[in-house]
Amino acid sequence: MKEIIYAWEFIFFLYFIFVNVSYFFLNILGFFSISKILKSNLHDVWFTKFDVYDIPISIITPAYNEELTIVDSVQSLLNLNYSEFEVLVICDGPKDNTLEVLIKTYDLVPNLEVPRLRLDHKPIKKNYISLKDKRLKVIFKENGGKADALNCGINISSYPLFCAIDADSILDSEALHKLVQPFSLENNTVASGGIIRIANGCEIIDGKVKHIGMPKSWLEKIQVVEYLRAYLNGRMGWVAIDSVMIISGAFGLFSKSAVFDVDGYNHNTVGEDMELVLKLREHALKNNTKINISFVPNAVCWTQCPNNIKILGSQRKRWQKGLLESLWSSKSLLFKPRSGLLGFYAFPFFILVEALGPFIELFGYISLLLFAFLGYINWNSCFYFYFLAFSFGLILSLGAILIEVTFFNHYTSKSIFQLFIACILENLWFRYIHSYWRLIGSIQFLKKSPASWGEMKRVKF
């Protein structure tokens, strides 16, 4: 019996080492990837000064109940330093005054433009254009969810590239210039993602971030650490080995023709952002074409994060369910010939760590405690393992803060100290609650629970 128990715990320990060492190497790859990209700052100067080379972009922002943030968000988009773009706000059957606020603020009048219906979506009820700024169009349609609203926006869009952005987000004025660079530098680019940063605690006036601050609650500060780690470590690490599998739905730039080729966003998943990227990967492999999916770490989008535990839990369960839906729908990528590190490392990693991780962690920790109670494992071993897990997690989070300080330095010394404390708190208790949420999201996927985005409680910027 002891041999079986020790064998199981040894396997669990090996899994633990594999996960953390893999994340550590992604940290290293992310550091050098960011360094390489930021050394090419000449491109920032070039594309800022010579607007004639701008590729026209349609910015699509789905809006549900966004009356508190929609004006600041739209104003930030209209203030972008970019020569040719349009802003399409898709009012997806809101129950609040989102549409009325837009009509009043921007002097909207009916627009007679007839949309091109290449992608399926719920019917359009009204179509508006702004008298104050002809670049702004607002479409009021029946509620169909975020993917449905995005497909509607793609149909109506006028330009070859479209940028999908959440309605509770604020873009830096140079964000589009930076995000479009991969399309200008590599002809086979089909998608480019920017970094999402937490707007909670920042001072935002007229759609512009005037001062970068730190959120008040520790729950929000922990999310700042999470976002830094996810983007500066994770995404940049996958970029280094050409294995990006997700462009955030909050801020991503896409080739419209490439998205048409894969029939747009899937209405039947809550992970439409990841699912779209994986479809683009599948389509390229099927047609034996090489594509580039990039990430630009200094193209910044500021977004609100949940400020209470209930809404945050709902969000994370949804993210986990969407991830599993995306992996399942694109399972043909696993060990697919010619898929390179994407099919033979990144995809298996996501299955083993992101999909199965919550179950393995649950059984691993429960068995560790159970065997300690039964006397098969001494309590010192449990303590050492917890300390090791805490140390690994802390090192990974501190690595993200190190990258932030080295390359971007957005925060004051006081804020960095608060982020250090947030790293400790995250690894003391938050990561275990997060694992529980992921487990519930995985169970919802297995039970085929209906797709639902739920509601995010907005606060005024």
**pLDDT tens per residue, range 42-77:** 445 444 444 546 799 999 999 998 888 899 889 989
Nearest to 164 by CA among 152, 178, 150: 150
Residues in the chain: 461
Mean pLDDT on 386-414? 92
Do the Cβ atoms of 386 and 372 come closer than 8 Å? no
Per-residue pLDDT, averaged over 7-36, amounts to: 86
Tell me how far apart the alpha carbons of residues 261 and 356 are, in angstroms, rounded to a whole number.
31
Say what percent of the chain tops pLDDT 90.
65
pLDDT tens digits for range 310-341? 999 999 999 999 999 999 999 999 999 989 99
Query: What domain count does the chain have?
Result: 1
Whether the predicted pLDDT of 204 surpasses 90: no
Residue 455 has a pLDDT of: 57
pLDDT band for position 234 (cuts 50, 70, 90): confident
Q: What is the mean pLDDT of residues 182-206?
A: 92
Q: Which residue has the higher pLDDT, 406 or 362?
A: 406
Judge whether 232 and 398 are in contact, CB under 8 Å. no
- With b for 16 or more beta-carbon neighbours within 10 A and e for fewer, the 57-80 pattern comes to bbbbbbbbbbbbbbbbbbbbbbeb
Q: Which domain holds residue 422?
A: 1-461
CATH number of the domain to which 84 belongs: 3.90.550.10
d(CA 380, CA 386): 10
CA–CA separation, 195 vs 235, rounded Å? Answer: 9
- Residues paired with residue 303 on neighbouring β-strands, in sequence order: 169, 198
Q: Is 187 helix (H, G, I), strand (E, B) or coil?
A: coil
pLDDT(107) > 80:
yes
* CA 63, chain centre distance (Å): 17
* Beta-sheet strand order (sheet of 57-63): 108-110, 124-130, 136-141, 85-92, 57-63, 161-165, 251-255, 189-198, 292-303, 169-171
Q: Is the pLDDT of residue 457 over 70?
A: no
Distance CA 265, CA 368 (A): 43
Average pLDDT score over the chain: 89
What's the confidence (pLDDT) of residue 51? 52
334-339 long-range Cβ contacts below 8 angstroms, 24+ apart:
336/285, 338/285, 338/288, 339/281, 339/285
pLDDT of residue 53: 62
92: left (phi over 0), alpha (psi -120 to 50) or beta: beta
Which pLDDT value is given to residue 225?
96
* Residue 353 predicted with pLDDT over 90: yes
Q: Which of the four pLDDT bands, split at 50, 70 and 90, describes residue 214?
A: very high
Average pLDDT score over residue span 211-218:
93
Alpha-carbon Rg for the chain in angstroms: 22
| pLDDT bracket for residue 195 (50, 70, 90) | very high
